[in-house]
Structure 1
Amino acid sequence: MKAQIQIDVAGRKRVAGACTEPCPIERGMRIIGGKWKGSILWHLQQGPVRFNDLVRQLGGASKKIVNQRLKEMEEIGLVKREVLSTRPVAVAYEITEFGRSSLDVLEQLKQWAEQNGI
């Protein structure tokens, strides 16, 4: 089946019936689909984890990348940060209820990967 191409008022080509804004899958992937985000949520599901312990659990991520992802996730409400001590600085991260709501999706993704040998 060949897609129908239409020309919009600005002269741009568009596929007939295509979404003009991100669909729910796209929006969901923007929230939990970034590199390391799903793994971070997965490791936080049992309770708060200190930053350095989380970096060790992830295995291949640099501290810089983990810190960036945690900041992004904190901004959108997936995780919350708690300062444990200021000298030396020690922080722990905990999954929020919003973040916890993604765990079913991550569990299904895990099962799908295992079933398909991925």
Structure 2
Amino acid sequence: MEICPYLEETFKIVGRSWNGLIINYLSRCTDYTAHFSDMKRDLKTITPRALSIKLTDLGEWGLVEKKIVSTSPVSIIYELTEKGRALAEALKPMEDWARTYIELENEVKAK
């Protein structure tokens, strides 16, 4: 039996460290946008260098767009594209599955 090549390519994207979490994060933001500093603050353990690389990679896949906002001072935001939003929507059933079947460390300690 052959593996679906489309699913294989999808997992090459979301299976890499941080990619799925960044997509999920942006999908929860107002207007699907966030500043680099906000993402760095909220995705606590990612390094600035790793976040920069991941945003560039996601941009190359057409999932995230870097936008320069003409304010004073100039502001840079990252926005999920239509393609990125569709992927975020496709990941929601996976999140539902995880909430049902995955036990987090802090939940184990609380029991």
State the TM-score, normalized to the length of structure 1: 0.73
Partner of 1:94: 79
Deviation digits for residues 41-97 of structure 1 (CA, Å, limit 9, x no counterpart): 111123210001011111110111010000001011000001236986642100000
Secondary structure, counterpart of 2:45 in structure 1: coil
Sort the Cα spacing of 1:72 and 1:58 in 2 relative to 1 into closer, same or farther, 3 A: same
* Aligned-partner SS, 1:31: helix
SS at match of 1:80: strand
Tell me the residue number matched to 1:30: 12
Amino acid at match of 1:31: I
Q: Which runs of 5 or more residues in structure 1 are unaligned? A: 1-16
Separation in structure 2 between the aligned mates of residue 34 and residue 89 of structure 1, nearest angstrom? 31
Which residue does 2:94 correspond to in 1?
A: 109
Shift, 1:23, TM fit = 2.1
Alpha-carbon RMSD: 2.3
- Map residues 36-55 of structure 1 onto 2, 5 A cutoff: 36-45=18-27, 46=29, 47=31, 48-55=33-40
Among the aligned pairs, what percent are the same residue? Answer: 29
1: distance between equivalents of 2:88 and 2:5?
Answer: 21
- Alignment-mate amino acid for residue 80 of structure 2: I
Letter in 2 for 1:116: Y
Question: Which amino acid is the alignment partner of residue 91 of structure 1?
Answer: I
The 1:76/1:65 distance shift into structure 2, 3 A limit, reads same
- Provide Cα deviations, 1:15-61, integer angstroms capped at 9, x if missing partner: xx556xx7222111112221111111111123210001011111110
The alignment of Structure 1 onto Structure 2 pairs a total of residues equal to: 100
The normalised TM-score by structure 2 is 0.77
Distance 2:96 2:51 in 1: 25
Unaligned 5+ residue runs, structure 2? Answer: 104-111
